[in-house]
Amino acid sequence: MKLFGKFRLNIGNRLLRKKIDTNRRTVSYSNIDNVRNIGVVWDASDPKEFKNISAFYTKMGQRGINVKVIGFYDQKVLPGEFTAIHYFTCLKRDDLSFFFKPLTPESETFIDEKFDVLIDINFKNVFPLRYITSMSRGSMKVGLYREGDSAPFDLMIDQREPTVEEYLEQVIHYLEMINNTTD
């Protein structure tokens, strides 16, 4: 985001707002027992946190829930631990348009997939990840509460400076509390 970064980001935000206005999806969720697939949008700037993503993947797999993760690492080269993992796609700086929109076929596929739950782990509000979350067709979008933010979430978790592990525990806790049997 060096050359005219703020200017490019402002235009990217404007373009995203226009796309959000035309993006239609149906919000639905009954309970955690009916969830078959979860999408996770993750800020991969701290590779050490990947162990928590991996543990979440394993935990959900034990419940019979398929998890796909898309991340963004703001460099030109990915760390070795981010490669060759079948449930994880990581975007890098070169995978973005001039206005920071993700351009890869994997990001488009992720956006188009109708996840039962989409979990946003984008604590720093990184634009390429916000774009993916905003445009996603996920049935129930969960994210971190930010005061004054018109985020695209159906369920917001209010935590101050959460870790990925704590945040995911809270997300699952609240999803388990919801039991809407009218679906």
pLDDT digits (tens, 9 = 90+) for 56-93: 999 999 999 999 999 999 999 988 888 878 899 999 99
CATH assignment of the domain containing 38? 3.40.50
For residue 183, pLDDT over 50 is answered with no
- The residues pairing with 118 across neighbouring beta strands, listed in sequence order, are 39, 141
For tokens 């929109």, name the residue: 101
Whether residue 119 lies inside any domain: the answer is yes
Whether residue 182 lies inside any domain: the answer is no
Average pLDDT score, the chain? 88
List all residues 6 or more positions away from 6 whose beta carbon is below 8 Å from its beta carbon.
none
List all residues 6 or more positions away from 119 whose beta carbon is below 8 Å from its beta carbon.
38, 39, 40, 41, 142, 143, 168, 171
- 9, 99, 122, 144 from 119: Cα distances, Å: 23, 24, 9, 9
Element (H, E) at 38: strand 37-43
Total domains present in the chain: 1
Q: Which range of residues forms the domain containing residue 42? A: 5-177
Whether residue 183 lies inside any domain: the answer is no
Cα–Cα distance, 140 to 163 (Å, whole number): 22
Whether residue 162 lies inside any domain: the answer is yes
Cα–Cα distance, 126 to 104 (Å, whole number): 17
For residue 1, pLDDT over 50 is answered with no
What pLDDT is recorded for position 180? 65
Whether residue 13 lies inside any domain: the answer is yes
